[in-house]
A and B are shown apart, each in its own frame.
Chain A
């Protein structure tokens, strides 16, 4: 047991420990920021019933006492964090329902959009970059780069609006947004890989393009491709709010926009905390897997 345990930690390595530590700090700081924003946000502890003449003195007193309790930020933060861990983020001011319910019903829609957008974006970026590098024709490379530059110059929301108005799937807009932002990195990666000496030697030996691509491009690049997925997820989440808000997609992004417009800080803070946790987790996982795969690739070579 002891042997297994001691073997496990060196295998996981300091990278995982560092990632978990960063994740914990992100969540703690994010939670604190969210709690502080809710606590000091406009309208905190104002009760619309205070102007109701039928409201009894004892109810007013109970509200006042509750506010006094919540005035202490550290205590408020600890309660907020405990609630967040249990999945209780309080009640939305604008919808009047628990924040958890609102989020749960919208997660599948956003998850589908992000998964399709990221998967499609990485695939398209790979394809475009491969065409640019493999063709070895300046005109083709300039053409592909030109298309990507135009895509990069269009705000993601306008791109999505175009798809929406043409009744085309909005997921493609997310994919194109991801493609435009990671194309440069993918092209550089492929350019370096296709120019490496082992690949050139294998090509001279007559190895086919598929075997070349698998052995000398995809396998050595696997860690960086994994890390790229983490970046792509962050890009997709960044584009989510305008795309969902303008194209009437009832996901997390649209919920965040509605919360911002109606100044629903409890909802907005909870959403930010969850998204930050998700993005930081994916980022950490990507880094850990990238490190692991890098060691495996080196061992294989």
Chain B
């Protein structure tokens, strides 16, 4: 039941994120200067921010940015990891150890600091998530190389090879179904990690650039407790982020249990 509820919730969030240009009452950057910091109600369901922008519209667009691009970055990491495993184990093993030794946030802020100050917000969005995707390949690559090693030593693999089955056929028909479940598990692990990473970077002002909204830069208002007390709707991005992560976790746990049972 929990898995079904979580899936329905994620589907609703995903749909509203994708339809944000249609269902959002206003544009994410439209300013109502005479209604800055307006309380919820009437024209603005969640109120407005200090620049007079509608919080609900910004939340919908932010969901489109964070909840769609973080899984895309996770998919990129998994794809890069699979490609890296095509190289000899020594290279992958050594490289993954080196990459895993570098705290990603330091790597990320150093790369962000290299970008020009006038980087376009839409490019900053793509770069933020692309950098995450590229920087996060090492973890899944280590898991994949372990799985491949296990497979190569397994009885069925030896049997298949001794039976003279072609290498490509072994890979495609026998090995890929096993690797696919590992890849999906890695994807399920990485997507929430990237959502949280974007949130941390956004809070620091090093993620997606204004005026483009993301869950991370919407959370920056939490630094002003007086504003939160006046308008508790400021907590909406945090609540949505937490609910999405809990739903992803519920789906992941149930799927894992099902796979183990199978």
Contacts and interface: CB of A to CB of B under 8 A. Distances in A.
B123 interface: no
Contacts of A202: none
A241 B196 contact: no
A148 B16 CA distance: 28
A272 B107 contact: yes
A241 B222 contact: no
Interface in A129-179: 149-150, 152-158, 161, 165
A41 interface: yes
Contact of A22 (B98, B103, B113, B199): B98
B241 interface: yes
A47 to B, nearest CB: 20
Contacts of A161: 222-223
Contact of A238 (B103, B114, B192, B246): B103
Interface stretch (B125-133, B175-183, B203-211): B203-211
Contact of A154 (B106, B204, B242): B242
B141 interface: no
B116 interface: yes
Contacts of B12: none
B249 A246 contact: no
Contact of A37 (B114, B196, B206): B114
Interface string A16-28: 0000001001100
B110 A37 contact: yes
Given A42-B114, A165-B225, A245 B246 contact: no
A246 B222 CA distance: 11
Nearest to A28: B98
Interface in A244-286: 245-246, 256-257, 259-261, 263, 265, 268-269, 271-272, 275-276, 279-280, 283
Nearest to B198: A155
B105 interface: yes
Contact of B203 (A246, A272, A276): A246
A279 B245 contact: no
Contacts of B3: none
Interface in A17-54: 22, 25-26, 29-30, 37, 41-42
A89 interface: no
Contact of A242 (B101, B104, B204, B225): B204
Given A149-B249, A256-B106, A272-B106, A158 B222 contact: yes
B196 A260 contact: no
A30 B106 CA distance: 12
Given A158-B238, A257-B109, A25 B94 contact: yes
Contacts of A42: 114, 116
A10 B188 CA distance: 42
Most buried by A among B101, B200, B219, B241: B101
B102 interface: yes
B110 A280 contact: no
A237 B200 CA distance: 13
Given A22-B94, A42-B116, A260-B112, A157 B102 contact: no
Contacts of A259: 113
A234 interface: yes
B97 interface: yes
Contacts of B241: 153, 155
A271 B206 CA distance: 17
B256 to A, nearest CB: 11
B170 to A, nearest CB: 31
A246 B223 contact: yes
Contacts of B94: 22, 25
Contact of A25 (B98, B196, B200, B243): B98
Contacts of B110: 37, 260, 265, 268-269, 272
B219 A158 contact: yes
Given A260-B113, A263-B113, 17 more contacts: A41-B114, A152-B245, A153-B192, A153-B241, A153-B245, A155-B196, A155-B203, A158-B219, A241-B109, A241-B200, A241-B204, A242-B105, A257-B204, A260-B204, A272-B107, A272-B110, A283-B101
17 contacts: A25-B98, A26-B101, A37-B114, A42-B116, A152-B192, A153-B192, A153-B242, A154-B242, A155-B196, A155-B199, A157-B200, A158-B203, A242-B200, A246-B223, A265-B110, A275-B106, A276-B101
